[in-house]
Amino acid sequence: MKKDKIIFFVISTILGVLIGFQFNTVDSVKEASMAPGKEGEKIALKIEKLSQEKESLEEEIKERGKLLKKYEKSIMDEKTKGLIKETEKYKMISGYEEIEGPGIIIEINDLYDDYLYYSDDQVLVEKKELLTFIVNILRMANAEAISINDLRITGYTEIEVAGRHFEINGVSTNTPFSIKVIGNSSDLYKIIEHLVDDEYFDIKITKSNNITIPKFNKQIEFKNAEPIIEGSK
């Protein structure tokens, strides 16, 4: 048991260090992207290298996280395992856990391919209204998790028009949209199938038994709110 606890501590420490490196890498990319244009070529190479390092670290963190969970389960008693399971449930609900399961995939593509279509502001308005409507109606149908172009949709997500594209969780994106939804595939399909006939977009809906939705990567800071600790008042 003592040996297992030591292993658990070591893995936790390594995971923390890797996460720290990841954040440092992200900060470095941001700094490089704002440097003067005269060093553009060097900056581009640096950004590319840092992006590759970031992807490698994210994969390493993911693997270490799996190993950490494995040792957690091996050294904890039933009560502690129950608490961990409850914590993981709330992490899934809040979007801070990658999850998989059955559901549907909604593919949205532009119906036309010409300048007038892409320059029409009404098309952007229709896209935003369509995305907002789909997210809301899926929630009404008890969708357990939703992502748009692999960007997890949570209570903190904002879908905003930015120029000729959209900002979702602070990331620029646009059509084609791939909306992945985990839940009862029959119920989800039934409530959304009428959308396939649309005058602006080509929409396809398919059921799937194995959908993976990534976790919400944006960090939320509470500057004013504090948790209420039972018995503190």
Mapping DSSP onto H, E and C, the string for 44-56 reads: HHHHHHHHHHHHH
- Residues near 94 by Cβ (< 8 Å), separated by ≥ 6? 154, 155, 216
Asked, for residue 220, whether it belongs to a domain, the answer is no
- Is residue 104 predicted with pLDDT exceeding 50? yes
185: containing domain: 99-213
Q: What is the DSSP pairing of strand 201-213 with strand 151-153? A: unpaired
- Shared domain for 12 and 58, answered yes or no, is yes
Kindly state whether residue 10 falls inside one of the protein's structural domains. yes
> What is d(CA 28, CA 166) in angstroms, rounded to the nearest whole number?
25
**Span 116-121, average pLDDT:** 73
Strand-pairing partners, residue 190, are: none
- Block residue for tokens 């608490």: 83
Residues 95-120, mean pLDDT to the nearest whole number:
83
Mean pLDDT for the chain overall: 76
Q: Are 106 and 179 a contacting pair, CB within 8 Å?
A: yes
Confidence check: pLDDT of 231 > 70: no
- Is 225 part of a structural domain of the chain? no
pLDDT 10s digits, 146-198: 999 999 998 888 888 888 889 998 899 999 999 999 999 999 999 999 988 88
**Angle between the 40-75 and 2-33 helix axes, to the nearest 10 degrees?**
160
The answer to whether position 159 is within a domain reads yes
Based on the fold, state whether residues 69 and 140 are members of the same structural domain: no
Tell me, yes or no, whether 180 lies in a domain: yes
Would you place residue 81 in the very low, low, confident or very high pLDDT band (cuts 50, 70, 90)?
A: low
CA-based torsion, 215, 218, 219, 222: positive or negative: negative
Q: What pLDDT is attached to residue 107?
A: 96
Residues 34-65 have pLDDT tens digits of 445 556 666 667 677 777 777 777 777 777 77
Q: Are residues 64 and 108 in the same domain?
A: no
pTM of the model: 0.62
Contact 189, 104 (CB under 8 A): yes
Does residue 21 carry a pLDDT above 50? no
What is the number of domains present in the chain? 2
Instruction: Report pLDDT for 173.
Output: 92
